[in-house]
Amino acid sequence: MSAALRLPKSLEDALLAVNTSTSRRSFLKSSGALVLSCSVSAVPGGRVLAQAAGEGLYPDPDHLQLDTWIVIHPDNTATFFVGKTDGGQGTGTAFRQMMCDELDIAYAKTSLIMGSTDTTPDQGGSGGSDAIERDGWPMRRVAAEARRVLFKLASEHLQIPVEELAVRNATISAKTDTAKSVTYAELVGGQRFEITLTGNNINATRGVADVKPVNELRVVGQPIERYDIPAKVDGSLTWAVDVKLPGMVHARNVRPPIAGATLQSFDESSVADMPGFVRIVSRGNYLAVVCEREEQAINAARQFRVDWAPPPEAPFPASDKLFDYMRSVTPTSSRETDSRGDPDSALATADLVIETDYEVPFQGHTAIGPAHALADPSGGQMTIYSNDMKSYGLRNGVANFLDLPREQVRVVYMDGPQVYGRTAADDVGFEAAFLASELGRPVRLQWMRDEETAWDTKGPAYTFKLRGGLDADGKIVALDYDARALDYNHLGYNDPDTVLIAQLMGIRPDSPAEGNAATPSNKYAIPNRRMTARVVRLPMVWETPLRTGNLRDPNGPQVTFAFESFIDELAAVAKADPVEFRLDMLARSAEDDLFRRARSLATVRAAADAYGWVSRPSPNLHVAASVGPILSGRGIAYTYRNGTIVATIAEVEVNRETGRVWVKRLVCAHDCGLVINPVGLRQTIECAMLHGLSRALWEEVRFDTEKVTSIDWVSYPSLRHSDTPESIEVVLVNGDPRPERSDLPPYGAGEGSHKPMIASVANAIHDATGVWLRRPPFTPQRVLEGMNAST
């Protein structure tokens, strides 16, 4: 491998492991098994070698070949190949643990390759926090199948029946005589399994063997350190942002200064004499400057004189008029979900009815590292080095966009800044590939900070109107939920006709995506209810920086804020304790199955117990009457997400003089079923909570009628060290109320604890101050305004 071609350490390790004297590839050559074309793809390590040498095309690794997933090396170690990516939640470590358990090999003897399209089977990359929940299953099953095959080979080798054999750490021996043994390497090290798997899609992939029952798992459940952390703290990891190739040039985009502006003309002479200038690339309203060096490209993009014509009409209302606009326009779609009973009659006859509006602004991904990619067009092919969490989609999308055969495009997945959904990593991958194809040279492109913060995809803004009725006993008899999400033309992942460069070039799908508005997933006992979700649109839906796309639990934080805050408002009116109010409605709910209801009750109770929750209604009038600037309060919120159950409690200190909210303490009770790695899980839960806290306290996309005006860390503030709680307690409730169950499944954990945070904080602020803040972020200014309005 050329020194300049800096691949991920894990890939290099895999190359070295394969590139030994008894390598898989040389074995295949000597045995005559190497047939150029598809069968090569069944040898992941061999494929890497071939590509590193710049030869051949990039067919899809065949997920129905066991060799695609697992390679046993001559030194009795193993490499696993999975089609996933890890945005920093430790899923890679968890995958290894699951596969080690099924294969019966020590964790330390294994390595894992993830998410590079020509090397690993297409599991779609990441998304939906279902890495463990869904994609872990084929990994476990193929590892179990490898173990079965190894037992069969060992039986033949040792002339001992399979049932009289046992395995310990990749060595199979006779149960009665451990001297009669053979290692995995002696059986298949450097060779192919040649086992064809079944399954009509990748999630269903399996061999003959079954996975182990949960109570036989040994590596699963262990708090193993994440393997990727040491190289991230000593500076040795090569990230996507670090890759350098011979002949590489640097590009920077030049964006329209006004949303929807049309490129009229540009003055190339304004940059042509600048040092290192290579070329201007322009098509439609897409414009980029290419220079030899990075800082040259940055300078040239700044000095470039471009004439833009503004759009005939304002593309959107200003952010301070956004919610009025959303309430006034006709929805593009409306749907009712989960409605039952007769909410109108029940509200008309209820003892007490309250009606409340909530609002949530657009919030952004705003990755700490602006989007970047390096695209290499060498040899008429296209290789993209990227941290895009859906590397397979990027490959397919770019092939379509550039009209290249899929087999000529690959994405090498590498570490990068956080990817909690549909980020600008998608957009920049297409842009780099386009520029590389135009220049015929490797092009490295990174967005600038203002570009990232203004133009990355947004979580949709929401307005809500909720009405709720209580009976004479203070129970909710009716609830009417009506939500509007500004989500029309919601972006998919890596769509060649909706990525930003396509939009700017005028490429469009037949019609914009309908978008989505969501309703609560909580199953409380509410006999009469109507849940309505409507989508609304902005005047301009193309070429706009206010593009919506999935942002960590795409609708959950907004919906859970409105719903769980409204539950607290009803509890306060009923003068009920917020925990008891919820437990009562969960216990009476006939809609949940027993499993879910029992887990919900256990989780809410666990949070209350861990917090030391004392039963009383909110607000805490004793606190409000106290002297001094600091008011303390607590707030709970409960939620359910795809099988995962979460209850969070925030304890806040509100400074009534400055308006500053400090969440001093956080407690989370969390049930995501089977725990693969408790250390990684706890960290993921903690950080997802704090990300939610950042959205609760600080984050809001601001814009005037032409452009986004929140463009850096001052105008788009984010949580900081001083906002960090003094203590965070995570209680892993995980378990099954039916203890005999040996197949407890895992559910996702990347988003569940993110979801209830805005609600927990709003409820805690009310408990402390008696004031309902119905619109995040709860900035000092908004807290003071709320408190002043209530007095």
| 242-281 positions binding other proteins, by CB under 8 A | 242, 244, 275
- Residue from 10, 39, 76, 89 that binds other proteins (CB under 8 A)? 89
Q: Which stretch binds other proteins (CB under 8 A): 105-113, 576-584, 609-617, 739-747?
A: 105-113
Interface with other proteins in residues 394-433 (CB under 8 A): 415-419
Q: Which of residues 696-735 bind other proteins (CB under 8 A)?
A: 712-714, 718-726, 728
Closer CB to other proteins, residue 622 or residue 721?
Answer: 721
Amino acid at 10: S
Measured from the CB atom, the residue of 196 and 658 that comes closer to other proteins is 658
Scanning residues 547 to 606, which ones bind other proteins (CB under 8 A)?
A: none
What one-character-per-residue DSSP string does 284-315 give? TTEEEEEESSHHHHHHHHHH-EEEEEPPSS-S
Q: Which of 341, 369, 474, 492 binds other proteins (CB under 8 A)?
A: 369
Q: How far is the CB of 696 from other proteins (least distance, A)?
A: 12
Which of residues 53 and 108 has its CB atom nearest to other proteins in the complex?
Answer: 108
Considering the complex, state which of residue 237 and residue 318 has its C-beta at the smaller distance from other proteins. 237
| Interacting positions 308-367 with other proteins (CB under 8 A) | 366-367
- Residue 632 structure tokens: 């303390």
Structure tokens at 291: 């220079």
Shortest Å, Cβ 415 to other proteins: 7
Q: Under a CB-based contact definition with an 8 Å cutoff, are residues 437 and 535 in contact?
A: no
Give min distance, CB of 691 to other proteins, in A.
Answer: 5
Q: Cβ closer to other proteins: 719 or 758?
A: 719
The residue among 436 and 675 lying less far from other proteins, judged by its C-beta, is 675
Question: What number of CA atoms fall less than 13 Å from residue 587's CA on the CB side?
Answer: 10
486-495: burial string, b at 16+ Cβ within 10 Å, e else: bbbbbbbbbb
Residue 230 CB, nearest approach to other proteins (Å): 6
Closest CA to 251 of 304, 305, 292: 292
Closest distance of CB 93 from other proteins, Å = 9
Whether 92 and 225 have beta carbons less than 8 Å apart is answered as no
Footprint of other proteins on 471-490 (CB under 8 A):
none
Buried b (16+ CB within 10 A) or exposed e, 192-214: bbebebeeeeeeebbbebebbeb
Binding piece for other proteins, criterion CB under 8 A, among 293-301, 349-357, 473-481, 517-525: 293-301
Near other proteins by CB under 8 A: residue from 20, 26, 155, 169? 169
Residue from 362, 363, 404 nearest 383 by CA = 404
Prior bond of 777 cis (ω within 30°):
yes
12 and 6 in contact (C-beta within 8 Å)? no
Nearest approach, Cβ of residue 766 and other proteins (Å): 24
What is the spatial distance between Cα 177 and Cα 174, in angstroms, rounded to a whole number? Answer: 5
Contact 773, 762 (CB under 8 A): yes
Stretch that binds other proteins, among 130-138, 255-263, 292-300, 498-506 (CB under 8 A): 292-300
Contact pattern for other proteins over residues 641 through 680, marking x by CB under 8 A? -------------------------------------xxx
Output 104 or 118, the one with its CB closest to other proteins. 104
- In 61-190 the beta strands, taken as DSSP E runs, fall at 70-72, 78-82, 110-114, 165-168, 171-174, 181-183
* Closest distance of CB 180 from other proteins, Å: 21
Site for other proteins in 441-470 (CB under 8 A): 446, 448-449
Residue 41 phi/psi, 5° resolution?
Answer: -65, -15
Tell whether residue 687 is a contact of other proteins (CB under 8 A): yes
* Closest to 251 (Cα-Cα) out of 206, 218, 203, 300: 300
Question: Are 190 and 124 a contacting pair, CB within 8 Å?
Answer: no
Which is closer to other proteins, CB of 223 or CB of 509? 223
Residue with Cβ nearer other proteins (381 or 423): 423
Closest to other proteins by CB, 614 vs 714, is 714
Count CA atoms closer than 13 A to 471's CA, side-chain side. Answer: 11
Question: CA 90 → CA 96, 123, 131, 242, 683, distances in Å?
Answer: 10, 17, 10, 21, 9
| Closer CB to other proteins, 456 or 569, in the complex | 456
* Number of other residues whose CB lies within 10 A of the CB of residue 269: 8
- Angle subtended by helix axes 578-588 and 594-611, to nearest 10: 170
- Which of the residues 207 through 246 are near other proteins (CB under 8 A)? 218-219, 222-230, 232-239, 241-242, 244
Size of the site for other proteins (CB under 8 A): 74
Q: Which of 44, 61, 83, 88 binds other proteins (CB under 8 A)?
A: 88
